[in-house]
Structure 1
C-alpha cells in the first residue's frame, strides 16, 4: 500500500509518500480502506519528535474515515462495506480511571498517530472499538476533519469547564481546528462568545459560526479589548490552546472566579504564571485531553446531524503532505486540512 511516513524526525522534508508494508488484522481488528485523513497540529509536533512515537518509520494521522474491507473473526460491530470514522484514543481498560469511565485519564493513555502508527495511508488495521459508524449522508472528508478537534473542544467546554447558558467564553485562535470547534460548541450552548484571530477574513468566519465579539490580536491587545468590552469584568471561561503567547493575558481577562481551560500550547509550553492573579481572583485552571468514548459519540452525533459544521480549508493528495504541514505551521486560512490517498483524489470534488 501507499502511506505517508517518516524515518526520522525533522522539518517537512522528512515526510515521504510511498510504498509501505500492508497491515494485517488480528481477530478483533478491522481493515479499513482510508478515503480521507485529517491533519492536526499533533502531526507537526510528532514529526518533530515531541513526543517521539514508539516505532520508526512512523505513519502519522489520528483522524481518518473510510470503508471496512475485512473483519477479524471475533469482530461483532462491523461488516465489510461499512462506512466508519476513526476514534484515535487508546485506553488500557484496567486502571482506576478506566474502571470509573474516565478513560481520557488512563495511566497508559496513547493515541493513534502519536504514540503508535496512524491512519494516513491507503489502508489501516484498527481494533473495532476505535471505529464509529459513519452515516451514508456524511462525506468522508467532513468526517475525517472532525474527531480530534471536536472531541477535544467538547471535553474542554462541556465536561471540564461545565459551560452554562449566558456564560461569556473567550476562544483563542478561533479559526484553527480546536478553535473553530470551540466557537460552535460555546455558541450552541447559549454562551456569549469572544473570538481572537489574526486577520479580518478569519474573524468574519468566526462570526459566521457563532462568535459575538471579534478581536484581531495582530492589531490590538486582546487583554485591553476584552476588558473594555466587559466593563473591566472579564470573561467566565478562557479556551487557551496557544500557551506562552497568550497565557498571562488569559489570566488577566478571566473574571473573578473564572476558568482557564487548556489542551495544548502551540506557541510554547513554559509560560510564566503570575500566581497572585490565580489566587487573588480565585481562578480555576483546568487541563483537558481528548475525550471519553461517550463524549466522542455525543459530539460526533452533532457533527453528523449538522449542528456542528467542520470547515475544511484545503484537501490535498497524500503525496502533497509537506504542503499540508506548511499550511498548519503557517496558520494559513481557517479550519482543517484533509489529505486523501492519491488513488482516491479528485480535485473537482473538493471545491
Structure 2
C-alpha cells in the first residue's frame, strides 16, 4: 500500500512516500480504508527527532484520520462501509487510569503515529474501541481534525478548564489548530474569548469566528488589553500551548483563583514559576494532552449539537506532504492543514 513514512530523523529528506506493508487485522480490530487526515505539531516532532517517544523505523506517520471500514468482526459496533474517525490513543485497559475511565493517562498507552504505525496510509488497523462513527454533516477532512486538535481543546476547555457560560477565556496563538478549536468550543459554551496573534489577518479570522477581542502582539500589551476588557478583573481561564514566551502574561492575566491550562511548549519548557503569584492568588496550573475515549464521544455529540466545523486552511495530496510540513513549521496556516489520503492502490488488500 502507499504510505508516508519516516526512515530517519532530520528534515523532509527523511519523510518518504512509497510502498509499505499492508496491515493485518486481528480479531477485535477494524481495518480502515483511509480517506483524510490533518497535520499536527507531533508530526513535525516525530520527523525532527521523536526524542522520548519509543518507536521503531521505518514508521508510518500521522496521528489521526477519517476513513471507511474495510473489514471488522461480525458483531462489531461498526459495519463495512461505515464512515469513521479514529481515536489515536490505544490503551491497555487494565492499569489504574484505564480502570477509572481516564485511558489517556494509561501507563502503556500507544499513540497512532508515535509509538506505532500511523494513519498517513491507504489502510490502518486499530482496536474496535478506537473507532467511532464520523459526524455526517462534516467533510472527511473536517471529521479527521476532531480526533486531535478538537479533542485536545475539549479536554483543556471543558475537563481541565471547566469553562462555563459567562466566563472569560484567553487563548494564546490563534491560528494553530488547538487554539482555533478552543475558540470554537468556548464560544459554543457561552464564554467570552480573547485571542492573541502576531498576525493581524489571523485576528480578523478569529473575530469572524466569534472572538470578542483580538490582541495583536507584540504591538499590543497582552495584560493591559486583558485588564481593560475585563474591567481590571482578569480572565477565568487561559488556554495556551506556547510555553515560556507567554507564561508571564498568562499568569498576570488570570483572575484570583483562575486556571491556566497548557498542552505545549513550542517556545520553551522552562518558564519562570512565579510561585508567589501562584499561591497568593491561588491560581491553578493544569497540564493537558489529547483526551480519553469518553471525552471524544462527548466532543462528537457536542459538535453535532452546535454544528461545529473544524477550520481547514488547505488540503494537500499525499505527494505534497513536504510542502504541508513546511507550511506548518512556519505557522502560516489558520486552522488545520489536511492530507488527502486517497491514492491508487499499490498493493490491493483482499478481504475475506
State the TM-score, normalized to the length of structure 1: 0.93
Q: Which residue is equivalent to 2:59?
A: 58
Q: Helix, strand or coil: the match of 1:236?
A: strand
| Greater than 6 Å deviation, 4+ residue runs | none
Structure-2 separation of matches of 1:54 and 1:117: 9
Q: Helix, strand or coil: the match of 1:104?
A: helix
User: 1:136 Cα deviation (Å)?
Assistant: 4.2
Q: Which residue is equivalent to 2:68?
A: 67
Q: Helix, strand or coil: the match of 2:107?
A: coil
User: 1:301 Cα deviation (Å)?
Assistant: 2.5
Q: In the alignment, is the contact (CA less than 8 A) between 1:303 and 1:310 conserved in 2?
A: no
1:340 aligns with 2:340: yes
Structure-1 separation of matches of 2:151 and 2:136: 21
Q: In the alignment, is the contact (CA less than 8 A) between 2:150 and 2:178 conserved in 1?
A: yes
Q: Deviations over 1:184-213 (max 9, x none)?
A: 111111111111112121111111222101
User: 1:135 Cα deviation (Å)?
Assistant: 4.3
Structure-2 separation of matches of 1:130 and 1:186: 26
Structure-2 separation of matches of 1:137 and 1:342: 20
Q: Which residue is equivalent to 1:288?
A: 288
- Write the mapping of 1:214-225 to structure 2, written as runs, cut at 5 A: 214-225=214-225
Q: Deviations over 1:101-120 (max 9, x none)?
A: 12222222331112211101
Show structure 2 runs of 5+ residues with no match: 345-352
Q: Which residue is equivalent to 1:348?
A: none
Q: Helix, strand or coil: the match of 1:215?
A: strand
Structure-2 separation of matches of 1:102 and 1:248: 31
Q: Deviations over 1:298-321 (max 9, x none)?
A: 112333455212000010011111
1:272 aligns with 2:272: yes
162-171 or 267-276, which moves further after superposition?
Answer: 267-276
Q: Which residue is equivalent to 1:205?
A: 205
Q: Which residue is equivalent to 1:122?
A: 122
Structure-2 separation of matches of 1:43 and 1:86: 16
Q: Aligned pair in 2 of structure 1 residues 216, 319: CA closer, same or farther (>3 Å)?
A: same
Q: In the alignment, is the contact (CA less than 8 A) between 2:34 and 2:342 conserved in 1?
A: no
Structure-1 separation of matches of 2:170 and 2:234: 9
Q: Which residue is equivalent to 2:142?
A: 142
Q: Helix, strand or coil: the match of 1:63?
A: coil
Structure-2 separation of matches of 1:328 and 1:303: 25
Structure-2 separation of matches of 1:307 and 1:342: 26
- Write the mapping of 1:14-53 to structure 2, written as runs, cut at 5 A: 14-48=14-48, 49-53=50-54
Q: Deviations over 1:18-67 (max 9, x none)?
A: 11111111111111111111111111112222344421111111111111
129-138 or 1-10, which moves further after superposition?
Answer: 129-138
User: 1:146 Cα deviation (Å)?
Assistant: 2.0
Structure-2 separation of matches of 1:233 and 1:93: 44
Q: Helix, strand or coil: the match of 1:97?
A: helix
How many residues align? The count is 343
